[in-house]
């Protein structure tokens, strides 16, 4: 009887270890979780960090390198141009004149619907000496509001590459981007500030997609009850031909995303 009891206990232990190990999918997943993977993903999340680095290659040989970084409520966007008529590097954001994230949220609903909103502001200020007595300060404030609606679901396993439910596919249905650029010009002549001149330009882009037309696949590196870490490889190729001219654009890079509740 003791041998049978010991064998039964060992079977339970081995089965439990197998179950716990099967819950661990990502490289940094916790070893033990009492919640299912869907239960851990479902809910409203706040973006804590988002680091996206891309290199875009144009047909003519010019290269654009962009680093998009969100860290809490700070945002920085660094753009470098190479092999172009205007080779330079520009950083706009919190590390310079100002960059603030106002809203950075993601919702994974239980019914499979998905929503995303990113709202941020960038400030770029430059001073110019126009003459010995005339100086000018131009402040450009850019407000961006991005909203995405769609669906989400886990992807199945791919032999030797991915485990079951190690990746999430997000299918876009609707994407809206509203950008408002406010330019303030302040002249100072002989030490006297002049009346500032302010102009505003607003653009609103709306894209609606057919089912499966646009999707993003995120690899789950870590899935905890209140924190998720994603990784994405970026590899896009665009080719255009309008009948008189044509070319191509290739974009490669990586992105990491950490969200918390």
The per-residue pLDDT for range 232-250, each reduced to its tens digit, is: 999 988 887 777 777 889 9
Query: In percent, how much of the chain has pLDDT > 90?
Result: 77
% of the chain with per-residue pLDDT over 70: 87
d(CA 257, CA 212): 23
Residues 169, 217 contacting (CB under 8 angstroms): yes
pTM: 0.85
Inter-residue contact 138 to 185 (CB < 8 Å): yes
pLDDT of residue 56 exceeding 80, the answer is: yes
pLDDT at 45: 98
- Per the prediction, the chain carries an average pLDDT of 90
Q: How far apart are CA 258 and CA 221, in angstroms?
A: 10
- Alpha helical stretches, state H, 47-139: none
Rounded to whole angstroms, the Cα distance separating 106 from 220 reads 15
Q: What is the pLDDT of residues 102-113, one digit of tens each?
A: 999 999 999 999
For residue 156, what are its two tokens? 């199945």
Q: Are 196 and 240 in contact (CB under 8 A)?
A: no
Which pLDDT value is given to residue 189? Answer: 97
Q: How many C-beta neighbours within 10 Å does residue 41 have? A: 19
pLDDT tens digit sequence for 177-195: 999 999 999 999 999 999 9
Nearest to 123 by CA among 80, 177, 182, 78: 182
């Amino acid at each position: 009887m003791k041998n049978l009891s010991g064998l039964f206990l060992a079977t339970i232990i081995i089965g439990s270890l197998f179950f716990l190990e099967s819950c661990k999918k990502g490289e940094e997943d916790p070893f033990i979780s009492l919640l299912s993977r869907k239960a851990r993903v479902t809910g409203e999340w706040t973006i804590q960090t988002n680091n996206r680095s891309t290199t875009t290659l144009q047909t003519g040989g010019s290269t654009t390198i962009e680093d998009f970084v969100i860290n809490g409520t700070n945002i920085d966007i660094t753009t470098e141009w190479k092999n172009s008529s205007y080779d330079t590097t520009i950083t706009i954001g919190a590390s310079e004149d100002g960059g603030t994230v106002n809203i950075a949220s993601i919702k994974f609903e239980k019914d499979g619907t998905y929503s995303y909103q990113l709202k941020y502001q960038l400030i770029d200020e430059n001073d110019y000496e126009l003459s010995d007595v005339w100086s000018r300060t131009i402040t450009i404030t850019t407000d961006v509001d991005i909203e995405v609606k769609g669906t989400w679901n886990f992807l199945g396993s791919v032999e030797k590459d991915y485990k079951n439910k190690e990746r999430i596919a997000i299918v876009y249905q609707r994407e809206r981007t509203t950008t408002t650029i406010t330019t303030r010009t302040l002249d100072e002549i002989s030490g006297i500030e002049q009346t500032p001149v302010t102009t505003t330009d607003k653009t609103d882009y709306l894209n609606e997609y057919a089912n499966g037309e646009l999707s993003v696949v995120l690899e789950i590196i870590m899935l905890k009850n209140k924190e998720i870490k994603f990784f994405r490889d970026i590899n896009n190729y665009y080719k255009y031909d309008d009948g008189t001219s044509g070319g191509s654009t290739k974009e490669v890079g990586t992105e990491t995303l950490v969200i918390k509740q």
